[in-house]
Structure formats: structure tokens, C-alpha cells
Amino acid sequence: MRTDRTFTMLKPDSVEKGHIGAILEKITAAGFKISAMKLTQMTTADAKEFYAIHKERPFFGELVEYMTRGPIVAAILEKENAVEDFRTLIGATNPADAAEGTIRKLYAASIGENAVHGSDSDENAAIEGAFHFAGREIF
Ligand code: DAT
Ligand code: MG
């Protein structure tokens, strides 16, 4: 059996609202193992780099403001089929479209403040994990 990794952030709104514990409970109950985890805060330069793919989008400024306004929980998660299964667990980008029981349906306020990040490919999971964690922090 192949074990894959994905990368997640519990975004500033999740930390502000006290949802860290509840969201981690859903993640571990769904079978994800935590390989790395920390409370950290992105700088403006960090957020611009992390979300560079969206830099021409009209919401880019708001996205950078939001992602830097307070601490996040960054984590690397391990599970068979991790990337796809985690995207299913978090639900659609817009919580209004997210399936019942998904993390975004339960905890996200809007498309702009949508509670959690999940990598969209194995390649991006590796890039995003390495963006936040040194090798010695990954177990
Ligand atoms: P996802 O986070 O589901 O991978 P994405 O990569 O398309 O979604 O966008 C990254 C983040 O940008 C998303 O989590 C929230 C924000 N965002 C995306 N589309 C938006 C929109 N139409 N208005 C405001 N923020 C948006
Ligand atoms: Mg994305």
C-alpha cells in the first residue's frame, strides 16, 4: 500500500474561532496521521509566494491580508491517497457549495475565509510542505 502526503493549513479564522481542536479531530478521525505540525504566522512575502499562482486574480490582495492577519496551524498529513481524500474531507472552495459534514461546510464563513487549505496535487503537497517545514520537523 502506498502512503501519500498532503499539506494543510488551519487558516487564521479557524484559529480565531477556537476551531483547532475540532478540525484536527475530524482530520485524525478520517485516518490522517500527522507527520509535521506547528502554530506559525505567514508574513506578507510568505503569503504572496505561497499563493503566487493567484497573483493576477482580483481577490489576491484580500487573500494575502487574510492569510497574514494571525497565526495558522500548518501540518503535513499522511494517508493512502492523501491529496484527493483530504480535498474530499474539506469540501468545495466555497462553503456554500461544500457537501454536508465537510470541514468547510461546518467551519467556513465564506469563499474568502474558508477555514482550511488542502494541497491540490502530490507535487504541490511536497512544495508546500517544504515551504513551511525543515526536514528535521517532518516525521
Ligand atoms: P482551494 O483553497 O479550494 O484550493 P483555490 O486554490 O482556487 O481554492 O483558491 C485559493 C484560496 O483563494 C481559496 O481557498 C480562497 C481564495 N479564493 C479563491 N477563489 C476566491 C474568490 N472567488 N473570492 C475570494 N477568495 C477566493
Ligand atoms: Mg488551491
Confirm or deny that 5 is annotated as ligand binding.
Answer: no
- Ligand 1: residue whose CA is nearest its atom 26: 112
- Predicted TM-score (pTM) of the model is 0.97
pLDDT in tens, 20-78: 999 999 999 999 999 999 999 999 999 999 999 999 999 999 999 999 999 999 999 99
Among the listed residues 19, 54, 117, 132, the single catalytic one is: 117
Confirm or deny that 32 is annotated as ligand binding.
Answer: no
Q: Centre a 10 Å sphere on the Cβ of residue 115 and count the other Cβ atoms it contains.
A: 26
Q: With a cut of 0.95, is the ipTM above it?
A: yes
How many helices (DSSP H) and strands (DSSP E) are in the chain? Answer: 7, 4
Fold of 4-137: Alpha-Beta Plaits (3.30.70)
pLDDT in tens, 93-102: 999 999 999 9
Q: Is 132 known to be catalytic?
A: no
